[in-house]
Structure 1
Amino acid sequence: MNPKRSLKRAALMLFSFFTVLALYLGTKSLSLTYSYSDFQYDFTTAELRPLDKECIFPEVNPFDPYILDIAGLKKGTLTCDGHFLPEITYIDGLSIRINASRAQIPSKLVICKYRNITRVPYKDNGFSFSQWSESFTESINITEEHEFIHVKCNDRQVTDYTLSNSFYSLVPKRAHLNALYKALLYKRRVEFKPKETLNIVAVALDGLPRHQMVRSMPKTYKLLTQEFKSFDFTMHGQTGDNTFPNMLSLLSANSYEEIKKWWSAKIPQDVFNLIWHDFENAGYRTLFTEDNPTKGGFYWTGNQFLYPQTSYWNRPLELAMEKEKDFLWKEGWCIGSRSIVEYHLDYLTRFLDTFPADPVACMTIISEITHLNIANAALVDDHIFNFYKILETKGHLNNSLVVFFSDHGSRWGKIRETHNGVVESRNPFLILTFPLWFLKKYPQIARNLETNTRRLTTHFDTRLTLLDILYFKAQEPTPPFKGKHGRCLFQEIPKNRTCADASIPEEHCLCGLKVEKYLNLTSPEVSILAKALLSAVKQKSDPENCEEYSLGKVLHVGVLDLPNISNKKSRISLTYSVRLSVEPGGAIFESTITMNPKTNETAIRGGIIRLNMYRGEVECQPSPSQQMYCYCKGNDENKQSVIAR
C-alpha cells in the first residue's frame, strides 16, 4: 500500500476523533495540521508536505591550517607616523594652536593659516574652500560654527616649503537648534513613553566575513564576547552581492529588488527615506562618515543625494582630502600622519563627547583597508580594541548600543577561492554590545539575543532592532515605517526561519548548503554548464567596447545538496556550483546553475559573481555593473588597476 495514502487515512481518522472530542469538550479552536516524521498533513487543504527544518549553516573550520596560512594574521598594527609631514597644529576648544616643537625648525620661523571647507548646496560631489585666514604664529581663534578646516604651515624664510598639512573634523554644537531637538525628544517621551533612551554607535568594516574577523582580530573579539558580554550573530546573512543592497537593508525599509521597480541611478537617493530621518524626528542628533567618498556604498555607481542625510555629514571634508595631492597614501590607509581608522573613530568619539547628555546616533564605514583584501583586517585589531576601551573609559558604553558589523562577506582573494571562501562570501559579521545594566534589567531580551546568535539573521533585523531602541517598549504604535522585511532581535527568531523568510536572495542563501560531490572535469555535464555560464557572462558584456570573452579554464563544478527539499528523488533538475576563468584578462566567474539531466536545459539561479578584481581592464565602461563583465578593446596591460565596488 502507498505509505502516503496510509498516512493520509490514519491522519483523517485521528482528525475525526479529535473533532468529536473537541465538540464534546466545547473547544473553540482546533489545530488543523498533524505532524508525522518529516511530513505534515494539512487537513484544510488535504496536502502532505515536508516540515520546515532548522537552518543549518555549512560546517567549515575557520582555523583550517591552509586558511590560517593565507589569512594575513602576522600583519602588525597599521601606523602612519614618520612617513608624512608632522601635524604641528591642534584644536584646543575654539582655537587652532601651533606646537612648533614638532616642526624641527625654530618656532619663530613657523607661520600657519587655515581655510573652511563647506558643501556646495544640492551637489553631493561638490565642496568649496573659503579664503585663507590671516597668518598666525602661535594660535588663532575660530567660531563655534567651524566644522571642517584645512590648516597649512610654512617656513617664513622659504614660503613655498610646507612644514605641515592637516585637515580637521570638528563638531559644532549648533546652539540655535537646541530648542528644536529638545522639543522633538520631549514630544517622543510624551507621546510614546519609551522605557529607555540609548545612543547608537555603529562601526563597519567593508566586505569582512565573520570568520576572518574572528581570526584576525582576537583582541577585539575576546574583549567584546568575554568582557563586554556582546552578542556575536554567527548565522548572519547578506541581502546582496555588494555594499549598496546591504546598506539599503540596514538603513531603509526596502530591498534592492524592490527599489529597482521605481528607482534608477539618475534619481536622487533622498527617496530612500533612510533610518536617520526617524532618529532626527525623535530628537537624536545624527552623524555619518565613510572613508571613500567616491566609491562608498551609496556612491559606487555615481549616485548622489540632494541633501545631507544626517546632521553631521563630513563628505565635503572627505572630498577635499581626496583632492589634496599625496595627502592620502599607503593605499589610502593613511590620512596625513594619522591612520584612516584612528581619524574616523576619533571623529565618532568627539561627537559623543560633544553631546554627553543628549541622544545621538552615529555610524562610520571604513572601506579602504578590508574591501580589497580581507587579510588586512589584522591591521586594525588594536585600533578597534582601543576605541572600545575609550568608550568604556569615557562612560559611553554605559548609555549606548554599539553595533560592530560588515556589510557583506568576501568577494575575491585567495580565501574566497577555497571551499571556506564559498561560506565566508555570504556570512558578514554582526556584534551588538549593550550596557550591562540593560541586559540585567531586561533578562528576557538578553535571552532572546543569545538565542538569536544561533539563528538566521540579516541587516533587515538589525534595522528593526535600532527602531525598537528608538521607541523602546513604547506604549503607543510608533511612527517609523518598518516595512515588510526583518524581525527585531529582541524577539526570538524562529528556529525554522528560511532564507525567504529572512529576505535573503537565493544565491546568497547558506541554509543547508553543501557540496555532495565535485564532478570530474571531463564529465559531459561540465561542458554544458560551462557553456551556459560563459553565455550568460557574454550577454552582460558590452560588445561595442569590450573584447569577446572565450573560455579560459573550468575550475570546478560541484553538485549541490539543495536546502529545504526532503525527497531528493523528486528533483526534476540538479543544481551545480560552476566556477570558470575567461580570456582575455583571466576574470573568474562563479554562479549556481540548474540543469535538467534529461533535456540538458540550464538556468542561472540568482546572479553571477566575479571572484577576482578588475585589473586595469575596465576604463572604457563608466558603470561598475558593466565593468565587472568587461575587458576593454585595445586595453593597455600596464594601466593602473581600477577597482569597482
Structure 2
Amino acid sequence: MTPKAHSYLFYILIFSIFTTYMTYLTLRNNTTIKLFKREFDSYLRQVPSIRKENFLKIDKSVYNDLLVDTKHCKIPNFHPFDPMVVPLMHKAEWVEDCRKISYHWTYRDGNMINFNKTALKQDGFEFRDLNCCYKTVTRVEQEMTNFDKNAENLIKYSNCIPMTELRTKFNHDEFIMIECSKKLIPLVIYRGFHPIAQPFRSKSTQDKIEYWKNHDNLPPNILILGLDSTSRLNFRRNMPKTVETIEKLGAIEMMGYTKSGERTFHAMSTMLTGYSGSSLIKKCKLTDQGGYDPCPFIWKRLNRSKYLTAYSEDWPDMYAFGTGGFIKQPVDYYLRTLFNAAHDYALPFPINQFVRLSTNWCIGHQTNDDLLLDYTESLLQLAHDYKSPLFTMSFSNTYPHSMDHNLIQLLDETYADFLERMKTKGYLNDTILFFLSDHGQRFGPLRETLSGWYEDKLPNLWIFLPDGIKEKYPDLQDALEINSRQLTSPYMFYWSINFILDKFFPNSNPSEIIFKNETIPRKFTEYNFFQKLPKNLKCSDVGVPDVFCACNPLRELNLDNPMLLLAGELALSQLNAKLPKTCLKLKVGRVNGGAIIENLGLSKTTYIIGIVTDPGKMQIEANIDYFKDIKTFNNISQIQRMNKINKIDVKCLKGDKEFELFCICGD
C-alpha cells in the first residue's frame, strides 16, 4: 500500500471516530451538558437570595420542637418542606431515560435470561431475524505482592456464545453481557447486562451452603441499602413512596443519627471496620495504590460465621475505597465486575477503544439502581432457596451524589417497589434491614440554609426487624424505638452488626474475644442500636467530632461582628499554612455566614463563619473555638467547603486529593 493510501485510511478513520462520537452525543441528548446546565441553573437560581445574607439565619423558635432532647443533645425538628427549602425544590427530570435510549429485550428470572417477545415485536423485530450471543465477564486479579492502582478495574470477556433460544439457563456464570445484531448487518443494536447470584460460584460459597444444611436455626440475613448524600429530611422530601413503604413495614427511623466523618470513605470505614478513616489508614498502612485487603472489615467476621457476603456500588470511579480498592475480591459476591464492563461499553465503538466513560447513568435499558436491586433480589432469592444467611450491602452513588438533591425523586418508585416485592416474596421474614446514607448534601444551595447545615450532619437511617425477631426478642424493638430519639453514630452501626452475630450465632467467637488484643484498639465499643442507650450521651461519647455535631443550639451573629472577621482570617491563615506553594493564598473576600455554638456545659464558644474566598469564590465554612476564660481563639480550626471543585482550579495538584478542596492554582 502506498503512503498516499495510508494517509487516506488514516483520515477516514479519524472521520469515522468523529462522526460516531457526534452521533453518540446526539443519541444521549447531550447528557453531560444537560446535567451540568440543570445543576448550574438550579444553583444560580438561588445564589442571590441566599448568599448575600447570613445563610445561618436562625429563628430561635426552631429549638422549641426537638427531635432529640437530652441533657447534652438538642436537635431541632425541621419540617421537610420548611419555607427556606421550598424554593430549592423542583420536579426532577431523567438525565438519561434509560428505557427510551435503549431496547428492553432481556430480563433475568432466577438463573434464566429470557428474551421478551412482546418487547421485540413492539420494536419491530423478531428473534429469528437477530444474531444474539452472550459474553461472560470475570474479574482478573493481581497478586498481593505485585499490584497497582488498576487492580479493581481489570476484567476479561469470554468469546460471544450464540443464543438460539428465547430462554437460556446459566448454572455457573455470574455476569452476563448480551449482544444482538441484525443477521445481515453485523452492527450491535442491543446490549444487555445481567448479574446472577450463583450458589456454587466458589469453594467458599459451596462450603457455607453445605454447612447450613445441618442447622435448623439460622441467624437472620443482614440487608443494607444505601443512598449517597441523602439526609433524613431529603429522603422524606423526595422519596415519599419509599418512606410510606418502609413505615408500613414497621421500620424505625433513627432521628438522631449523626455522621462521624466528612466523606463516604470516612462513613464506610467506621460502619464496616469500627475505625475512623484516619485510624484505618494507619491500621492498614494504606497508600494511594489501594490494597485494603488486610483491613479488618466486618465481612471477615461474617465469613468466619459462615454468612454469604456481598458488596455492591454502582459507580466504579466514585468508589468508597478509592481507585485502588481491593486486590482480591473482598466478598463472595461482588457486582463491581459487571459495572466495570458496563462502563467499558458505555461509549460506542470505536470510541470505547480509547475512552472509558466515568459517569454512567444507564446500564443498557436499566438505571444503575435497577441493576443494584436486581442483583440484591437475586442474592436474597439464593439465601432463601439454599437456607443460608446472607450479608449484602448495596450503595447507590450516581443519582444521589448529584449536586441536584432533587434527583433522588427518580429512584423513589424503584426502591418502594423493591421493598414491596421483597415483602411479598417473604424475603424480609428473616432479614434485618438497614436503609441508610453516609451524610447529607455537602455542596450547593441546600447546604447554604440553616436546614441544610443540619441536614449535612444528619444522614438517613431506618432499621427494620422481622416479626419473628420482634416476637422472640421484644427488648430489641423496644431499644430501637427508644434510641430513635437519641444521639447515635456510624460506630453504633458497626457494633450493631457484631451484636447480631453475638446474639443469633453464639457459636462464633464473641466480640470481646475477637477485639481483645488489637494494636490500635477500636473505640466507642459499648453502644449499639439494639440496646438502650444512656440519655446523657455527648457527641464525643459516640465518635462524632465537634465540627459534625448537631447537638448544640446555634445563635446568629450579625455579619459585621468583628469577631467573625477575626475568626475567618485566622482560619484561612491556618489553612494557607498547609497548602502547597503551587496554591494561591486565600483571603476573606466576604463573610456571608455567622453564628456561635454555645457548647452545653463547656467553657468555650465555637464560632461558625461562612466565607467567600478571594481568589476563587469558594464557599467555605470554618469552625473555630474561642476560650472564654483566656479570651483567645484556638490555633486549630475545622474547615469545610460548601460548593463544588472546579477541576481547572486544581490542575497543578496533578490528581493529589489531599488539597484539592481548598486549592486555587497560581499561574
Deviation at 1:361, TM superposition (A): 0.9
Counterpart-to-counterpart distance in 1, 2:157 and 2:357: 25
Return the letter of the residue paired with 1:133: C
1:7 corresponding residue in structure 2:
none
Work out whether residues 227 and 437 of structure 2, in 8 Å CA contact, stay in contact via their aligned partners in 1. Answer: yes
1:501–1:221 Cα change, 3 Å = same
Work out whether residues 86 and 102 of structure 1, in 8 Å CA contact, stay in contact via their aligned partners in 2. Answer: no
Return the letter of the residue paired with 2:194: Y
2:37 corresponding residue in structure 1:
none
Counterpart-to-counterpart distance in 1, 2:88 and 2:164: 51
Q: Which protein has the larger Cα radius of gyration, Structure 1 or Structure 2?
A: 1
1:158 corresponding residue in structure 2:
185
Q: Secondary structure at the match of 1:554?
A: strand
Give aligned pairs, total: 564
1:312-342, Cα deviation, whole Å (9 max, x unpaired): 0121211221222338999633222112111
Q: Does 1:630 align with 2:653?
A: no
Which sits farther off after the overlay, 418-427 or 458-467? 458-467
2:650 corresponding residue in structure 1:
618
Return the letter of the residue paired with 1:230: A
1:428 corresponding residue in structure 2:
459
Work out whether residues 569 and 587 of structure 2, in 8 Å CA contact, stay in contact via their aligned partners in 1. Answer: no
Counterpart-to-counterpart distance in 2, 1:371 and 1:339: 15
Return the letter of the residue paired with 1:618: V
1:414–1:93 Cα change, 3 Å = closer
Select the residue among 524, 541, 545 that pairs with 2:579: 541
Deviation at 1:134, TM superposition (A): 4.1
Which sits farther off after the overlay, 623-632 or 390-399? 623-632
Work out whether residues 577 and 593 of structure 1, in 8 Å CA contact, stay in contact via their aligned partners in 2. Answer: yes
Work out whether residues 184 and 281 of structure 1, in 8 Å CA contact, stay in contact via their aligned partners in 2. Answer: no
1:588–1:87 Cα change, 3 Å = same
1:214–1:564 Cα change, 3 Å = farther
Select the residue among 259, 265, 277 that pairs with 2:287: 265
Q: Secondary structure at the match of 1:451?
A: helix
Deviation at 1:59, TM superposition (A): 4.6
Return the letter of the residue paired with 2:463: L
Q: Does 1:581 align with 2:605?
A: no
Q: Secondary structure at the match of 1:224?
A: helix
2:40 corresponding residue in structure 1:
none
Cα RMSD after superposing both structures: 2.8
Q: Secondary structure at the match of 2:503?
A: coil
1:597–1:488 Cα change, 3 Å = closer
Work out whether residues 77 and 380 of structure 1, in 8 Å CA contact, stay in contact via their aligned partners in 2. Answer: no
- Structure 1 length normalisation: TM-score? 0.81
2:542 corresponding residue in structure 1:
502
Work out whether residues 253 and 462 of structure 2, in 8 Å CA contact, stay in contact via their aligned partners in 1. Answer: yes
Return the letter of the residue paired with 2:243: Y
1:562–1:453 Cα change, 3 Å = same
Deviation at 1:142, TM superposition (A): 6.0
1:281–1:597 Cα change, 3 Å = closer
Q: Secondary structure at the match of 1:388?
A: helix
Work out whether residues 131 and 180 of structure 2, in 8 Å CA contact, stay in contact via their aligned partners in 1. Answer: yes
1:316 corresponding residue in structure 2:
337
Return the letter of the residue paired with 1:554: V
Deviation at 1:129, TM superposition (A): 2.6
Counterpart-to-counterpart distance in 1, 2:382 and 2:81: 42
Q: Does 1:173 align with 2:190?
A: no
1:117–1:290 Cα change, 3 Å = same
Q: Does 1:383 align with 2:414?
A: yes
1:348–1:441 Cα change, 3 Å = same
Q: Secondary structure at the match of 1:425?
A: helix
Work out whether residues 110 and 196 of structure 2, in 8 Å CA contact, stay in contact via their aligned partners in 1. Answer: no
Q: Secondary structure at the match of 2:429?
A: helix
1:365–1:477 Cα change, 3 Å = closer
Deviation at 1:186, TM superposition (A): 7.8
1:64 corresponding residue in structure 2:
82
Work out whether residues 329 and 336 of structure 1, in 8 Å CA contact, stay in contact via their aligned partners in 2. Answer: no
1:48 corresponding residue in structure 2:
none
1:258-307, Cα deviation, whole Å (9 max, x unpaired): 234443324621222111111111111111100111222111xx332121
1:198 corresponding residue in structure 2:
220
Q: Secondary structure at the match of 2:541?
A: coil
Counterpart-to-counterpart distance in 2, 1:559 and 1:384: 39
1:599–1:207 Cα change, 3 Å = same
Counterpart-to-counterpart distance in 2, 1:590 and 1:493: 32
Q: Does 1:561 align with 2:587?
A: no
Q: Secondary structure at the match of 1:63?
A: coil
1:525 corresponding residue in structure 2:
563
Select the residue among 246, 249, 257 that pairs with 2:270: 249
Where do residues 262-411 of structure 1 align in structure 2 (5 Å cutoff)? Answer: 262=283, 263-266=285-288, 268-299=291-322, 302-326=323-347, 332-356=360-384, 357-373=387-403, 374-411=405-442
1:179–1:516 Cα change, 3 Å = closer
1:6 corresponding residue in structure 2:
none
Q: Secondary structure at the match of 2:121?
A: helix
1:19 corresponding residue in structure 2:
none
Q: Secondary structure at the match of 1:415?
A: helix
Gaps of 5+ in 2: 1-69, 143-149, 349-355, 516-521
Deviation at 1:114, TM superposition (A): 2.2
Select the residue among 160, 165, 172 that pairs with 1:145: 172
1:531–1:597 Cα change, 3 Å = farther
Select the residue among 254, 263, 269 that pairs with 1:233: 254
Where do residues 389-468 of structure 1 align in structure 2 (5 Å cutoff)? Answer: 389-468=420-499
Counterpart-to-counterpart distance in 2, 1:455 and 1:372: 30
Q: Secondary structure at the match of 1:619?
A: helix
Deviation at 1:411, TM superposition (A): 0.7
Deviation at 1:553, TM superposition (A): 1.5
1:40 corresponding residue in structure 2:
none
1:184–1:582 Cα change, 3 Å = farther
Counterpart-to-counterpart distance in 2, 1:595 and 1:518: 15
1:38-75, Cα deviation, whole Å (9 max, x unpaired): xxxxxxxxxxxxxx934222454433122123144x33
Return the letter of the residue paired with 2:593: H
Counterpart-to-counterpart distance in 1, 2:505 and 2:204: 26
Counterpart-to-counterpart distance in 2, 1:181 and 1:477: 14
Select the residue among 475, 486, 501 that pairs with 1:470: 501
Work out whether residues 627 and 634 of structure 2, in 8 Å CA contact, stay in contact via their aligned partners in 1. Answer: no
1:132-157, Cα deviation, whole Å (9 max, x unpaired): 22444545856522111222111222
Counterpart-to-counterpart distance in 1, 2:605 and 2:274: 35
Return the letter of the residue paired with 1:289: S
Q: Secondary structure at the match of 2:103?
A: coil
1:338-378, Cα deviation, whole Å (9 max, x unpaired): 12111111110011112312111111000111112322222
Q: Secondary structure at the match of 2:87?
A: helix
Q: Work out the percentage of aligned pairs sharing the same amino acid.
A: 24
Where do residues 211-222 of structure 1 align in structure 2 (5 Å cutoff)? Answer: 211-222=233-244
Return the letter of the residue paired with 1:333: W
Deviation at 1:514, TM superposition (A): 2.0
Work out whether residues 135 and 177 of structure 2, in 8 Å CA contact, stay in contact via their aligned partners in 1. Answer: yes
1:479-535, Cα deviation, whole Å (9 max, x unpaired): 444543241222101000111111111211122x222231342x3323311211222
2:105 corresponding residue in structure 1:
88
Work out whether residues 185 and 282 of structure 1, in 8 Å CA contact, stay in contact via their aligned partners in 2. Answer: no
- Structure 2 length normalisation: TM-score? 0.78
1:102–1:326 Cα change, 3 Å = farther
Work out whether residues 113 and 132 of structure 1, in 8 Å CA contact, stay in contact via their aligned partners in 2. Answer: no
Q: Secondary structure at the match of 2:235?
A: helix
Q: Does 1:132 align with 2:159?
A: yes
Gaps of 5+ in 1: 1-51, 566-570, 635-645
Deviation at 1:182, TM superposition (A): 4.4
Which sits farther off after the overlay, 409-418 or 90-99? 90-99
Which sits farther off after the overlay, 470-479 or 624-633? 470-479
1:190-219, Cα deviation, whole Å (9 max, x unpaired): xxx9x7611011100001111111222222
Work out whether residues 184 and 282 of structure 1, in 8 Å CA contact, stay in contact via their aligned partners in 2. Answer: no
Q: Secondary structure at the match of 1:174?
A: coil
Counterpart-to-counterpart distance in 2, 1:178 and 1:530: 56
